[in-house]
Amino acid sequence: MSICSMVVHSRPENLEPVIHSLEQMTGVEVRARDERGKLVVLIDHPERKVISDAMMEMNNIEGVLNTSLIYEYFEDDDD
């Protein structure tokens, strides 16, 4: 199991399209936002690779200025 929280900064004028793009991604949920374009994003998926790919993909969304990993929790389900 892997869970990450991130802050995603977008241009304020691109906020809604960025949120829409994020929410279309597997395991991604936008938990909070403000009018200046700052988003709190949660990624939850059993496969760590999916989370890693999602974090990289976020940087390619038009209107995203920056992404910052805030917290990561990983537990190997085989244990």
Residues 69-79 have pLDDT tens digits of 999 998 876 65
Q: What is the dihedral of CA 51, 56, 57, 60, to 10 degrees?
A: 160
Q: So what's the pLDDT on residue 76?
A: 79
Q: So what's the pLDDT on residue 46?
A: 87
Residues 15-57 have pLDDT tens digits of 999 999 999 999 999 999 999 999 999 999 888 888 889 989 9
Q: Which residues contact 49 (CB under 8 A, 6 or more apart)?
A: none
